[in-house]
Amino acid sequence: MKIFSAQQIYQADKSTIQREQITSDVLMERAATQLFEWLHSRLRGTQVNVQLFCGIGNNGGDGMVLARKLHEHDYSIKVHVVNYSERRSEDFLLNLERLKDMKVWPDFINKESDLPQISPNDIVVDAIFGIGLNRAPDDWVGNLIRHINNSRAFTLSVDVPSGLPVDRNPWNSEYVIRASYVLSFQLPKLVFFLPETGIYVNQWEIVDIGLDPDCIAKTDADFELMGRPEVLPMYRPRLKFSHKGTYGHSVIIGGSYGKIGAVQLATNACLSVGSGLVTAFVPKCGYDSLQSAVPEVMVLTGSREKSISEIEIPFEPSVVGIGMGIGLDDDTVSAFGSFLKKSNSPMVIDADGLNILSQNPEMLKDVPRLSVLTPHPKELQRLIGEWASDFDKLEKTKAFASKYDLVVVVKGAHTITIYNGKGYVNTTGNPGMATAGSGDVLTGMITGLLAQGYLSVEAAIFGVYLHGLAGDLGASSMGYEALKASILVKHIGNAYSELFRQPEMEQKDNAH
């Protein structure tokens, strides 16, 4: 699913109105009717107080329509107009009149007003600001927002949490609604997925308001949300008359004394994701443990006991995954540098492999184009430098990836794969995966997918999705805390099955 900027959403809105030859208030009615249906299907007439806080723009207009519909269905409502500007939108005014026609009288909150009482048992509808927010809310509006947050009432935000801009970080983190649930129109917003701004969104769901599909299809988006429908078509089926050579020979290079487990996890994951053959290249101290822990893996060793000081592979690997647990010894660094110089095909670089690149940026030109780099936030910072915000981080990563023609996997709760100026936002995974070695598993998986012929960017996107899915399946059976990297590996097979599960077997629940 594409992720649009505010301008692109306004454009789709305009194009829908033109194409369907409707007025904008019809679209507002359609959008808010969906909000009503959502709430009504859950409340089913329960007598709970619904307090609606509506701004004076179209987001507030949506709130007005919702208020009218709730009133028509005998819900107990209280409507507040947050009167932050004289420039009211036409559709807001129209729907304010329609509400008054039904003898519902909103109270107007302005700078001087007392804050309304909100009980923790109320339902708050937050329709103060939508995607039109373009500057910091005034302090009195910010205080109202803080008051709503402190009420502990269930807060349903219309389109976006009020106070959260869609293209930058908030001016004041206190002046943003912490939404229990966001019903967002048509397309998800990038801010829902970034660590600094995703915290305002507990759960979200898309409400389809029928924006012009042609316009959406034709518009190039900088970011895309990668759910099952986007990822499934990337799958490359196994062929009946195939053999292990068909699926490539992966080589995993890494490990040092005390860090052989990283290679064990990566090789195991590489095999489980389907690589035909897997060889590990480790220092001598890793030989016995690897041979006994992963019998399917072939093991090569360097000449030293505890670290890698030269890298010689006596055959042409389909793909190399390098860096996990490899350490930063001088000899290891120079072995890594010479290995890069003689490598021509895309590889996967992780962990200390990335740290070596950060410390020796002249090596970057030798990284084969279309290689996949998998930094966690610290490693990314060492590679591209400090950033001012998540938005800045993504822009800098895009520039870095384009400069060297690489795929960069920005790992996190919503891992974002960056390639060729675009970002692909992952939807699977959970906090149980914040555990030692889960990154090594990912590196092994992406390596194994490249070995099977996936293109670099697809191997990264597909691998990240499958890795998160394995984590979700692992967590569903054992919870977050007990999830370990080796359990992720065990669930790779189940993750494939889950990917192919027929849609009709799924629960119809779009919430995230």
Ligand X SMILES: NC(=O)C1=CN([C@@H]2O[C@H](COP(=O)(O)OP(=O)(O)OC[C@H]3O[C@@H](n4cnc5c(N)ncnc54)[C@H](OP(=O)(O)O)[C@@H]3O)[C@@H](O)[C@H]2O)[C@@H](O)CC1
- E strand or H helix that includes residue 301: strand 298-301
Among 145, 153, 211, 401, binds ligand X (CB under 6 A): 211
CB of 440 to ligand ADP, least distance (A): 5
Closer residue to ligand ADP in complex, CB, 131/269 = 269
**Residue 179 annotated as binding site:** no
- Which residues, in sequence order, are CB contacts of 58 under 8 Å at separation 6+? 24, 28, 89, 91, 92, 130, 132
Of 69-77, 213-221, 361-369, 424-432, the window that binds ligand ADP (rule: CB under 6 A) is: 424-432
Among 44, 74, 120, 135, binds ligand X (CB under 6 A): 135
Place of tokens 């893996």: 297
Cα separation, 482 vs 494, in Å, equals 18
**Residue 60 annotated as binding site:** yes
**Residue 132 annotated as binding site:** yes
Among 18, 23, 117, 134, binds ligand X (CB under 6 A): 134
- 499 within 8 A of 466, measured Cβ to Cβ: yes
What is the secondary structure of 110-162 as a DSSP string?
Answer: -TTPPPPP--TTSEEEEES--TT--SPPPHHHHHHHHHHHHHT-EEEEESS-T
Nearest of 372, 395, 368 to residue 384 by alpha carbon: 395
Among 8, 34, 58, 427, binds ligand X (CB under 6 A): 58
Enumerate long-range contacts of 487-492, CB under 8 Å, 24 or more apart: 488/269, 488/433, 488/438, 488/441, 489/265, 489/268, 489/269, 489/272, 489/441, 489/444, 492/269, 492/272, 492/273, 492/445, 492/466
437 interacts with ligand ADP by CB under 6 A: yes
Nearest of 259, 163, 273, 225 to residue 499 by alpha carbon: 273
Residue 238 phi/psi, 5° resolution? -75, 145
433 interacts with ligand ADP by CB under 6 A: yes
SS3 content of the chain, % helix, strand, coil (to 5): 45, 15, 40
- 432 within 8 A of 483, measured Cβ to Cβ: yes
**Residue 494 annotated as binding site:** no
Among 157, 184, 371, 426, binds K ion (CB under 5 A): 157
**Closest residue to ligand ADP: CB criterion:** 439
CB of 144 to K ion, least distance (A): 13
436 interacts with ligand ADP by CB under 6 A: yes
CB of 130 to K ion, least distance (A): 5
126 interacts with ligand X by CB under 6 A: no
Cα separation, 83 vs 166, in Å, equals 22
- DSSP helix/strand/coil, 366: helix
**135, interface contact from K ion, ligand X, ligand ADP, none, CB < 5-8 Å by kind:** ligand X
**Residue 130 annotated as binding site:** yes
Of 81-89, 281-289, 458-466, 487-495, the window that binds ligand X (rule: CB under 6 A) is: 81-89
Cα separation, 281 vs 256, in Å, equals 11
**415, interface contact from ligand X, K ion, ligand ADP, none, CB < 5-8 Å by kind:** ligand ADP
* Positions in 87-116 near ligand X (CB under 6 A): 87, 89
CB of 392 to K ion, least distance (A): 25
* Positions in 173-202 near ligand X (CB under 6 A): 185
Q: Is 511 exposed, middle or buried (0-12, 13-18, 19+ CB in 10 A)?
A: exposed
Among 116, 132, 368, 453, binds ligand X (CB under 6 A): 132
Nearest of 403, 393, 373 to residue 193 by alpha carbon: 393
Cα separation, 375 vs 405, in Å, equals 16
Of 126-134, 191-199, 258-266, 393-401, the window that binds ligand X (rule: CB under 6 A) is: 126-134
415 interacts with ligand ADP by CB under 6 A: yes
**Residue 266 annotated as binding site:** no
- Which residues, in sequence order, are CB contacts of 42 under 8 Å at separation 6+? none
CB of 171 to ligand X, least distance (A): 8
**434, interface contact from ligand X, ligand ADP, K ion, none, CB < 5-8 Å by kind:** ligand ADP
- Going through 345-442 in order, the beta strands assigned E by DSSP cover 348-349, 372-373, 407-410, 416-419, 422-426
159 interacts with ligand X by CB under 6 A: yes
31 interacts with ligand X by CB under 6 A: yes
Of 58-66, 438-446, 452-460, 501-509, the window that binds ligand ADP (rule: CB under 6 A) is: 438-446
Determine the distance from the C-alpha atom of residue 486 to the mean position of all C-alpha atoms in its chain, rounded to a whole number. 23
Number of residues engaging ligand X in binding (CB under 6 A): 30
- 202 within 8 A of 180, measured Cβ to Cβ: yes
- Known binding site for (6S)-NADPHX: residues? 58-62, 130-136, 159, 262, 325, 376, 440
- Known binding site for AMP: residues? 411-415, 439
Interface residues with K ion (CB under 5 A) are 126, 157-158, 162
Interface residues with ligand X (CB under 6 A) are 9, 13, 27-28, 31, 55, 57-62, 84-85, 87, 89, 129-137, 158-159, 185, 209, 211
Interface residues with ligand ADP (CB under 6 A) are 351, 376, 411-413, 415, 429-431, 433-434, 436-440, 442, 467
